[in-house]
Amino acid sequence: MTDETQIIVLDVSTEDLHDPTHVGASADQQTLRLWIATEAQSVAKTRIDAQMKLLERYMARGASFVGWGLSATIALSALWRIKDHPDHLWIPAALTALASTSSALLLWPSGWQIAGDLPSYLSSTGYETELEIREALAQRDEQGIELNDRRLGQSALLLKITLCLMTLAALSVTAIFLL
């Protein structure tokens, strides 16, 4: 092995970069609209896929909280029904029931954009070039990403509320049995 590095320079003219098979493509280096639209679609698909994975993790956590919350609610409610139950045991039972409800809202499918469009949309657009269609699709993807960001923000808030309610329930149980 040598420590030398060779630099390879290729003489490529701008005419070689022009692909006439792409409608709307241009040999002008300042005009990159088709490439930008194509790349925007690719980036949007990657972003929506990442958002979907994050939503799946939020939903898995929500489902776990629903299970734990319902179990705790049932146990606390059963304990409260015992003849000599501690005072104020209904407080942690209500908090765990509220936590289960807030985490169950995570599982409610609403306001979500998946990657891709229906084939019927492509044929009904009325655009005449690949460039125009790709730009329209990229714009629709961006709107979907914004919609997904709002849903993810709501999901994160619901998880925080659930965690706070479960923490308050645990603290109230501790206070009831220690005081």
pLDDT tens digits, 46-101:
999 999 999 999 999 999 999 998 888 888 888 877 877 777 888 998 999 999 99
Tokens of 126: 């009325």
Query: pLDDT at position 61, please?
Result: 92
Per-residue pLDDT at 31 exceeds 60:
yes
CB 147 within 8 A of CB 53: no
Regarding pTM above 0.75, the answer is no
Where would I find the H helices in the chain?
14-17, 33-81, 90-104, 119-124, 130-178
Query: pLDDT at position 15, please?
Result: 54
Per-domain residue ranges for the chain?
27-178
Average pLDDT, the chain: 82
Query: pLDDT at position 167, please?
Result: 93
pLDDT, tens only, 101-119: 999 998 887 778 887 788 8
Query: pLDDT at position 63, please?
Result: 92
Query: pLDDT at position 25, please?
Result: 57
Query: pLDDT at position 28, please?
Result: 61
Query: pLDDT at position 4, please?
Result: 57
Query: If you write DSSP's letter for every residue of 66-98 in order, what string do you get?
Result: HHHHHHHHHHHHHHHHSTTPPTTTHHHHHHHHH
Per-residue pLDDT at 146 exceeds 90:
yes
CB 144 within 8 A of CB 48: yes
Tokens of 178: 């220690």
> Alpha-carbon distance 68 to 103, whole Å?
10
> Alpha-carbon distance 5 to 128, whole Å?
49
